[in-house]
Structure 1
Amino acid sequence: MKQTYRVVIPAAGAGKRMGAGHNKLMLRLQGRTIIEWTLDVFDADPACTEIVLAINPEEADWFVARVAEYETTIHLVAGGSERQESVRKGLEALKGQGIVLIHDGARPFVDRHSIEAVVAKAHETGAAILAVPVKDTVKRVQGDTILDTVPREELMAAQTPQAFDLTLIRDVHERAMNFLGTDDASLVEWDGGKVAVVTGRYENIKVTTPDDLVFGEAILRKREEQL
């Protein structure tokens, strides 16, 4: 039997780097909005029992219309001005225990195998994330001068979903009210906890800039060709 989970998706961001003038999750790839592509993945997974979307209340009507088609239970909660606050409010909406995933709404290309792997690892360790090895040579710089070259074999680029024991991550978020982390795993690290890493896939990009829309269309075309 597959290990079940629930997922919190922060979806209240303005997407300033996209330059769209509105929530980037409303942008379309092959005629479907980014958030719909993301929700499709979890709605199609029988192991996903509940989805919480943390949204901008001013966009509530738009999101209500989008989630109506899904069979999985989806709750809409008011998000915050920062992603971390949105996640915290999403976690507060969940009852009971179990594994919760925290996933960027703008990562619509995560695959079922990666989800199953990170959920399984979180069941073992309490906290796990997807990440991929860094491909490029990374330089640490100051101004326009290189200080040193960081050993690439020690570096991985973090992705989502990130999977946690619900009680653990909810408690960590409460303790981190005055600390702003870069992702949810960083809060566990700040709190003294350990986070396991599961190797993900490079296709699991976060749609952040206009160039990523081009990459996203290419990923979808590739998947169509493989069907």
Structure 2
Amino acid sequence: MDDRTSKGTEVAVLIPAAGEGTRLGGRRKQFRVLGGKSMLVQTLDVFERHPEVDHIIVATPAEAVRPLRQELRRIGITKLMTVVSGGLTRQDSVAAALAETPDSVEVVLVHDAVRPFVRLSQVSAVIKAAREQGASALAVPVTDTIRKGKDEMFGETIPREKLYRMQTPQGFRRTWFQEAHAEAREKGSHATDDVDLIQQKGLPVQIVPGGELNVKITTPEDWERATQFWPMWEEILHLEAREREVMTEAK
């Protein structure tokens, strides 16, 4: 047992990947190939590389549980704890993955399976804020003008100064997150995202600056941009790896 396990300070990442992905068309979007690997695997690689992440738990369609578990272990996702059958909703899938999280985990991260362009530094910032504040999430301030609309006519403008576009990962103290899911299950309530569950308990959530690159690939237009950007992303990953090597050598 390592020191973090004995102190109960581990980090687990939950990846809900059971969605149909119908807006992108064709096969489920999380299994579409991007840069030679499925989008899901490219996303998992981020957390496989992150030094603070100890466990990865994936929730997937029931028929994919066994083959995906075998495939991820074959290709070397060493932090994979298990693959579980997801539910009808994202909230159900997250709950199924959360149920497999060991008590040695202090912080739970939830990350979209189709958001592969997240930086290691962003993951670190979410983990740090979750440890210190109990809950945190990446978000980007809204810069566009936002108006209400009805019957194809514009209404009032919504002040954007306090509006944010939510991203993942979102990080939580494990005990908070388990309590939030238990209460939602008892009440039969549903949340728009995991932050919403925490806020329903009246708990604070720290804003962590996100980035424009950390997009959720949902539409055909998203997919086209992602495939065009991938070669540049690989260069970014190469530079990050080199920076880590230099820092390690300096120590």
TM normalised by structure 1 equals: 0.94
Q: Which has the higher helix share?
A: 2
Structure number with greater Rg is 2
How far apart, in 1, do the equivalents of 2:57 and 2:66 lie? 16
The counterpart of 2:102, out of the listed 77, 95, 100, is 95
Cα drift, residue 74 of structure 1? 3.1
In structure 1, runs of 5+ residues without a counterpart are none
In 2: Cα distance, 1:141 partner to 1:28 partner: 37
User: Please, which of 128, 132, 146 is the counterpart of residue 120 of structure 1?
Assistant: 128
Aligned equivalents of 2:81, 2:106: Cα separation in 1: 17
**2:70 and 2:29 mapped to 1: Cα distance?**
17
Give the equivalent residue in structure 1 for 2:194: 184
The whole-number CA distance in structure 1 between the counterparts of 2:56 and 2:92 is 17
Contact kept? 1:203, 1:219, Cα under 8 Å: no
- The offset of 1:73, in angstroms, is 3.0
Q: The residue matched to 1:132 in structure 2 has which SS?
A: strand
Q: Distance in 1 between matches of 2:63 and 2:80?
A: 22
Q: What is the CA deviation profile of residues 138-166 of structure 1, one whole-angstrom value per residue up to 9, with x for unaligned ones?
A: 11112212221111221110000000000
Q: Choose 157-166 or 92-101, whichever is displaced more.
A: 92-101
Of residues 3, 14, 17 in structure 1, which corresponds to 2:20? 14
**Structure 2 match to 1:60:** 65
The root-mean-square deviation of aligned C-alpha atoms, in Å, is 1.8
Cα distance in structure 1, aligned partners of 2:41 and 2:156: 42
Q: What CA distance in whole angstroms lies between the structure 2 residues aligned with 1:214 and 1:124?
A: 38
Q: Residue type matched to 1:133 in 2? A: P
Contact 1:207–1:213 (CA<8 Å) still a contact in 2? yes
Structure 1 residue 65: Cα displacement:
3.8
Q: Residue 242 of structure 2 aligns with which residue?
A: none
SS state at 1:139 partner: strand
Q: Which of 100, 111, 115 lines up with 1:107 in the alignment?
A: 115
SS in structure 2 at match of 1:201: coil
What residue in structure 1 maps to residue 166 of structure 2? Answer: 158
* Counterparts of 2:213 and 2:21, CA distance in 1: 20
Letter in 2 for 1:203: L
4+ long deviations beyond 4 Å: 1-4
Q: In the alignment, is the contact (CA less than 8 A) between 2:139 and 2:208 conserved in 1? A: yes
Superposition deviation, residue 61 in structure 1: 3.9
Measured after TM superposition, the shift of residue 108 of structure 1 is 0.7
Kindly tell me: are residues 115 and 225 of structure 1, through their superposed partners in 2, closer, same or farther at Cα, counting changes over 3 Å? closer
Shift of 1:225: 4.6
Measured against aligned partners, the alpha-carbon deviations of 1:120-178 in whole angstroms (never above 9, x if no partner) come to 01111100000011131111112212221111221110000000000101110111121
**Match for 2:18: what amino acid?**
A
Q: In structure 2, what is the Cα distance between the partners aligned to 1:142 and 1:157?
A: 22
User: Aligned letter for 2:126?
Assistant: V
Please say which of residues 125-134 and 210-219 is displaced more in the overlay: 210-219
**Is residue 20 of structure 2 the alignment partner of residue 32 of structure 1?**
no
For 1:221 and 1:65, how far apart are their aligned partners in 2? 28
Counterpart CA distance in 1 for 2:197 and 2:135 is: 11
User: Would you say how many aligned residue pairs link Structure 1 and Structure 2?
Assistant: 226
**Which ranges in structure 2 are unaligned for 5 or more consecutive residues?**
239-251
Aligned ranges 1:178-217 → 2 under 5 Å? 178-217=188-227
Percentage of matched positions with identical amino acids = 35
In structure 1, give the amino acid aligned to 2:17: A
1:221 counterpart letter in structure 2: P
